[in-house]
Structure 1
Amino acid sequence: MTLDGEDLSHSRPVLQGDEPHVFRGCDLTEADLSGAALAGALFESCVLDGADFRKADLDGAVFKGGGGMRPRFNDADLIDVTFTDVDLSSAQFGGALLTDVSFSGCRMIGAALTASRGTGFKVARCNLTLANLGGCSLRGEFIEGVRFDDADLSGCDFTEATFSDCRLIGTRLLNTTFTKADLRGADLGQPDDAKLRAFAGAVINQAQASAILAARGITVL
C-alpha cells in the first residue's frame, strides 16, 4: 500500500494489504497509528507532528526526512529501524523496544529516550540538546558529531565508547559511566567536580586536562 501526499492528519488511517506500507510526503499530524502493524514501512518526508505510534510494530521501518514536534513512540517495537535526517524534537520513546536502531542526522532536541528497552541504538550527527537519555546504553559505540548540550545522561553507560566531534556541555551526569571511554574528541566545556568524578576511568587529551586544571588555578608547563 503506497500513499503519496495524503492528508492523514487527525485520523486513524485504514491500512490495507500485506506488503510493507509506503508513506511519501504524507501529513500525519496527530494521526492515530497506535498499535498498527507497520513492520518494514517507509516514511519519506512526512509531517509527524504529534503522530501517535504507541505500541505500533515498526520493526525494520525506515524514516527519511520530514518529522515534527512530539511524535510518540512509547512502547512501540523499533527493531532495526533507521531514522535519517528526521526532526524528532520532543519525541517520546519511553518504554519502546530499541534494538539496533540508528539515528543519523536527526534533530532530537528535548527527545525522551529514558525507560526504553532493548539492546540500544546508534547515534551520529544528531542534535540531542536538552534530551533525556537516562539509563540508556551506548556501550562501545562510536559516537560522531552529536550535541549533548544540557542533556540528561544520568545512569547512561558509555563504557568503551568513542566520542568524535561531540559536545558534552552542561550535561547531567549523575551515575553515568565512562569507564575506558575515549573523550578526546569531545568538547567537555568546564566540568565541575561532580562531572569530573563521572569521567573517572575515561581517556582525555593533554589540552583537555590543561583546561580543566587551569579552571582550578593550576598551570601546566
Structure 2
Amino acid sequence: MNFDGENLSRKSLGDRLPAGEQHVFRDCDLTETDLWGASLAGARFESCVLEQTDFRKADLDGAVFAGGGGMRTRFNDADLIDASFTDVDLSSAQFGGALVTDVTFTGCRMIGASLTASRGTGFKVARSNLTLANLGGCSLRGELIEGVRFDDADLSGCDFREATLSECRLIGTRLLNTKFAKADLRGADLGEPDDAKLRAFAGAIINQAQANAILAARGITVL
C-alpha cells in the first residue's frame, strides 16, 4: 500500500496493513499514529513526521527511514533487523527491547534517544548526534564510528573493543564499565581525562597529543 502526503495522525493502522506487502509512506503526518504490532517488513518512510509515532512490537525488518522524524518515537520491542535510518530526527526515541541487529543510523539527530535494554548483536552509527543519549549495555565492537557526538551520553557497560572512533566526541560522557580495549581513539576528542575515563580507556590506542593532555591534567609535563 502507498500513502502519499496523507494526514494519518492519531489513527490506528496496526491492524489495517496487510502482511506480505511492501508499504510506502511519503511525506505523511504520522503524529501519534498507532502502528503497534504492524506488519511493516521492508516498508519505506520518506520525509514523514514521526512525532510520538507508536511502532512498538512492529515488524520493521529491513525497513527504510529517510528524512523526516520527530520527538519521542517509540520502537520498543520492535523487530528492526537490517533497518536503516538516514537523516532522521530520532530525538528522545525509545528502542528498549527492540531487536537492532545490523541496524544503521547515518546522519541522524538522536539527542536523548535511549537504546539501553535493546537486543541483538549491535548496530552501526555514523555522522550522528547522540548527545545525552543512553546506550547503556550496547555493543559497537569492531565498528568504524565516524563523526558521532557522544557528548554527555551514557555509555555505561557498552562494548567498543576493537572499534575505531574517527572525528567523534566523548565530552562529558559517562563511561562506567565501558570497554575500549584495542579501540583506536586517535581521531576522537576525549574530553576531560578524568580517572573514570582513564579506567575505561585501558588497553585503547591514543596519540601523543592525547597522552600529553592526560599527563598535563595531572601536573606532569612531557619534554
* TM-score normalised to structure 1 length: 0.98
Mapped to 2, the partners of 1:218 and 1:175 lie a distance apart of 27
Task: Please say which of residues 10-19 and 69-78 is displaced more in the overlay.
Answer: 10-19
Aligned sequence identity (%): 83
1:136 deviates by 0.2
Distance change >3 Å, CA 215–CA 17, structure 1 → 2: closer
- 1:121-132 correspondence to structure 2 within 5 Å: 121-132=123-134
Shift of 1:17: 7.0
Structure 1 residue runs of 4 or more that deviate by more than 3 Å after TM superposition:
none
- The residue that corresponds to 1:187 in the other structure is 189
Matched with 2:102 is 100
Shift of residue 113, structure 1, vs aligned partner: 0.1
Match of 1:200 in 2: 202
> What SS does structure 1 have at the residue aligned with 2:148?
coil
Shift of 1:217: 1.2
1:16 Cα shift?
4.4
Partner of 1:219: 221
Match of 1:35 in 2: 37
Is 2:105–2:125's contact at 8 Å kept on the other side of the alignment? yes
| Alignment partner, residue 11 of structure 1 | 11
- After superposition, give the CA deviation of every residue in 1:90-132 in whole Å (9 maximum; x if it has no partner): 0000000011100000000000000000111000000000000
Q: 1:53-132, aligned counterparts within 5 Å?
A: 53-132=55-134
Q: Following superposition of structure 1 onto structure 2, how do residues 151-166 of structure 1 map, counting pairs within 5 Å?
A: 151-166=153-168
Letter in 1 for 2:68: G
Q: Structure 1: state its 5+ residue gaps.
A: none
Counterpart CA distance in 1 for 2:19 and 2:94 is 28
Give SS of 1:45's match: strand
1:167 aligned residue: 169
Partners of 2:196 and 2:4 lie apart in 1 by 51
Match of 2:142 in 1: 140
* 8 Å Cα contact 2:19/2:39 also seen in 1: no
Cα distance in 2 between the residues matched to 1:115 and 1:126 = 20
Provide the rounded CA distance (Å) in 2 between the counterparts of 1:189 and 1:55.
38
Q: Distance in 1 between matches of 2:208 and 2:195?
A: 18
Partner Cα distance (2:208, 2:76) in 1: 42
State the shift of 1:134 in Å.
0.1
Deviations 1:129-156 (A, max 9, x none): 0000000000000000000000000000
Q: Tell me the secondary structure at the aligned position of residue 208 of structure 1.
A: helix
Return the offset for 1:86.
Answer: 0.1
Residue 15 of structure 1 deviates from its aligned partner by: 2.2
Count of matched residue pairs: 221
Deviation track 1:142-185 (CA, whole Å, cap 9, x = no partner) reads 00000000000000000100000000000000000000000001
Tell me, in whole angstroms, the C-alpha distance in 2 between the residues paired with 1:77 and 1:138. 19
State the 1:218 CA deviation: 0.9
Q: Find the residue that maps to 1:63 and give its secondary structure.
A: strand
